Amino acid sequence: MAKRLLMCSLALVLFAGITAASPEGSWTGWVTDTMCGAKGASAKHADCAKKCVDGGHGKYALYNPADKKVYTLDPQANLADHAGHFVKVTGSVEGDTIKVKSIEMAPEPKAEAAKPKS
């Protein structure tokens, strides 16, 4: 009985470890701050994002227009250089946080052309 309990416990620990590990992926979006989120998704917001983060009112984040979600970026070091930039972030996601492995500039998405009125 004790052997069976030990084996079940070991299997549970191994399963939990496998499911907790998130696969690596990449996301594109605007580097903003957690205070403004999607509202700060533009190059014009760079100075405001830096002030919020430097003042302790938020953290650098990525607004991903594809899923309309704001992800906190970790680690925060060297992200001020990318504030207001459209970037590609590679790493793994844990909840609402992207563990950044690399970050690089990405081409900005084209604005949708105005549809003609019928």
Question: Structural domain tally of the chain?
Answer: 1
Copy the structure tokens of residue 73.
């970026």
Q: Give me the residues paired with residue 86 across strands.
A: 30
Query: Is pTM, for the whole model, over 0.95?
Result: no
Q: Is residue 90 part of a domain?
A: yes
Helices and strands in the chain: count of H runs, count of E runs = 2, 5
Q: Is residue 10 part of a domain?
A: no
Q: Is residue 110 part of a domain?
A: no
What is residue 109's predicted lDDT score, i.e. its pLDDT? Answer: 82
Q: Is residue 114 part of a domain?
A: no
Q: Is residue 18 part of a domain?
A: no
Asked if residues 88 and 27 have their Cβ atoms less than 8 Å apart, the reply is: yes
Domain that holds residue 76: 26-105
Q: Is residue 11 part of a domain?
A: no
How open is the CA angle 7-10-13, to the nearest 5 degrees? 150
* CA separation for the pair 39, 29 (Å, rounded): 13
How many Å is the maximal CA-CA distance in the chain?
76
Asked if residues 26 and 93 have their Cβ atoms less than 8 Å apart, the reply is: no
| Mean pLDDT for back-to-back runs of 10 residues, the chain (118 residues) | 56 50 88 97 96 96 96 96 97 96 92 49
